[in-house]
Amino acid sequence: MKHSLLLIATAFASVAPWLPARAEIVNVSTPNTSLILDAEKGGDLKILHYGDRLSEADMALLKEAGAINRSAYPVYGIFPQAEAAMSVTHADGNMTTAVEVTGVTSATAPDGATVTTVAMRDKVYPFDLNVNYRTYPGEDVIETWVDVKNNEKGTVKLNRFMSGYLPVRYGDVWLSQLYGTWANEGRLSQTPLNHGVRMIKNKDGVRNSHTAHAEIMLSLDGKPQENTGRTIGAALEYSGNYKLFIDTDDTDYHHFFAGINEENSTYNLKKGESFVTPPLALTYSDEGLSGVSRNFHRWGRNHRLHAGNKERKVLLNSWEGVYFDIDEPGMAGMMKDIADMGGELFVMDDGWFGDKYPRDNDSSSLGDWVVDTDKLPNGIQGLLDTAKANGIKFGIWIEPEMTNSVSELYEKHPEYIIKAANRPATEGRGGTQLVLDLANPKVQDIVFTVVDTLMRKYPDIDYIKWDANAPIMDHGSQYLTADNQSHLYIDYHKGFETVLNRIREAHPDVTIQACASGGGRANWGVLPWFDEFWTSDNNDALQRIYMQWGTSYFFPAIAMGSHISASPNHQTFRRIPVKFRADVAMSGRLGLELQPKNMTDEEKGIVKQAISDYKSIRPIVQFGDIYRLVSPYDGKGIASLMYVTPEKDDAVFYWWKTETFMNQQLPRVVMAGLDPEKTYKVTELNRIDNEPLSFEGKSFTGKYLMSNGLEIPLTHKVDYHKNTDYASRILRLTAE
């Protein structure tokens, strides 16, 4: 079904007599959803419905059925008891705002997206507020944001500036959200919404997805289910500080707001200036949590993620293999090893740079992006030549937003760091790390030049790992004026976006990973410029099941870096067999992060087979539709999910045992997303058993697999001395 956006004016009143004569009903439709608005000229913008796509007949009876009929973007000042999406102080000190609709326009962009704008203006002041809605052909996601313009005689203070608001009918509504910390990101929390306020926020300043995420799901039919139940998803597309909150008051609604965190960020809008909020992406599905995920994944790959429809390479990253001990022979050896195992890319991590201050640990040299020729006598070009000789690509690590107090950059330009006036700078990682002030255009030039110089001098660089290992540690800008210090958090990310736009205009083809002390930048605010994010610095396969499960709620596998690490693991010290590590990593963008020369020949053989098998299913994993089947958070002893092609002619099924007890009983997993009329041949990938599974090579109908599943053995049939307490399976289901 084609994208549709209808603007139905006065004539609609004859179909729906309850509407005011001047009503203008705005129907922002996607293939399966409708957002219905009442944009009566001279009145407040009202939301009437958000959810399943409505027919015109159903729209005509919204009032009789019980339309929402609440402000679509509430502003502060008149009846100020309720929460508001926007609060301003006008140039004369008046803190009340009352807006009315002045018109509705619609325009189609070159990419096919349609933007509907409802223009509003304060009834007294020349203060303009536009609420925007964007849809894309074939996608069930609606983006909303606001832009305001100050036409008053003096400065207007923006005290709160949410991107969007959505009233959700009170009932048995559950909230699914992500929380965590460093090395434990993307954890899932699911709780019912009760009276009071639930708030999710970030104040890091640089990274925003370690401790919380700017995305939520609301299950409208009770406890969340993966593939059934009415579910709303929301994702704020912003790289900086955010605030999402749900106010359940004495009305019949849960009031959901999302936008930039306004704490200590009052924005002074001068006469003639405009302010634009980041978009809030909304979606709805009656196919549960996984249905919402599928909507976000497709929209993200097609319209938000950089190069979202380009396959990602299998890589080896040097970090956990050698840490800072970079040298030319070591890099050459790792390149040969990953090439021999079938990998396609080698990424040299931290420790390769520094002249006056060599980067031997994390206490110096950031900002001095000069090759350490003691470690790499033939420089980056020598590494590129070695990679080419091995038939693979080469990538490199940088951290361009940061410097150290022990660096040539800081010695020359101490004024470029974020620092409060009249106070010493607070230093972070390594006791010396500092954050550069991206509000400053000169700093923006420096950060752009780091990437631009690398790429122009070494155009064969295929991949950049862009790290950010410190938050804003002092609220202070040496660039911003004294009266605009509250702009720091916002202007930092405006500058960040400016730099990224310049980089992508100059270098659109290089793959860039968003790393920020691990998973600190897993958000849709950065992904238009980044091809993927680093999910976590913790590569422990068992813990990764939990982190990647939560992360998959909003982000597709193609964007989720997932690596096979060493055993014992460097973070948890858990000993996990390489088969299990590979089976977990293969559910995301597969990579390795270890020292291959420390692997046994048998381990190398298993990894080589895993890489080969992953390449065969890569299009399904990276571009397929996700169906989560059994959650690790449900405590059933297993976790299981699958990816299915849109045509439903190919699928990959994952099964991991998450705990082991004697005589344990585990549930049989029923599959999802297949065509019930098709027949699927089953093939196990990464097989280590001495004999194949009983259903290997057999064919079953989609109906059978979705009604009954297959009986998965709890252990592997291997030689006695190879038995472990871990078990995992990957099955490919190919339609015949």
Active site residues: 467, 537
Asked if the peptide bond before residue 400 counts as cis, ω within 30 degrees of 0, the response is no
Residues in Cβ contact with 452 at an 8 Å cutoff, skipping those fewer than 6 apart: 502, 503, 506, 507
Contact 173, 193 (CB under 8 A): yes
Cα separation, 31 vs 431, in Å, equals 53
Number of Cβ within 10 Å of residue 82's Cβ equals: 13
390: left (phi over 0), alpha (psi -120 to 50) or beta: alpha
Cα separation, 538 vs 290, in Å, equals 25
User: In 3-state terms, what secondary structure has residue 659?
Assistant: coil
User: In 3-state terms, what secondary structure has residue 482?
Assistant: helix
Cα separation, 404 vs 226, in Å, equals 46
CA 632 to chain CA mean position, Å: 21
Torsion sign, CA atoms 383, 385, 389, 392: positive
| Calculated CA dihedral for residues 483, 485, 487, 492, nearest 10 degrees | 140
Sequence-ordered strand ranges (E) for 10-135: 25-29, 33-38, 46-52, 70-71, 86-89, 99-108, 114-122, 127-135
CA 581 to chain CA mean position, Å: 23
| Calculated CA dihedral for residues 587, 592, 597, 599, nearest 10 degrees | -20
**Residue 725 to residues 326, 690, 719, Cα–Cα distance (Å):** 36, 17, 14
Contact 163, 146 (CB under 8 A): yes
Give me the residue label for tokens 């944001």: 145
**Residue 520 to residues 80, 162, 240, Cα–Cα distance (Å):** 36, 22, 11
Contact 451, 398 (CB under 8 A): yes
Cα separation, 626 vs 301, in Å, equals 13
Contact 232, 224 (CB under 8 A): no
Number of Cβ within 10 Å of residue 153's Cβ equals: 11
**Residue 160 to residues 157, 239, 263, 372, 715, Cα–Cα distance (Å):** 9, 18, 9, 48, 56
CA angle 670–671–674, rounded 5-degree value: 145
- DSSP code at position 615: H
Residues in Cβ contact with 609 at an 8 Å cutoff, skipping those fewer than 6 apart: 686
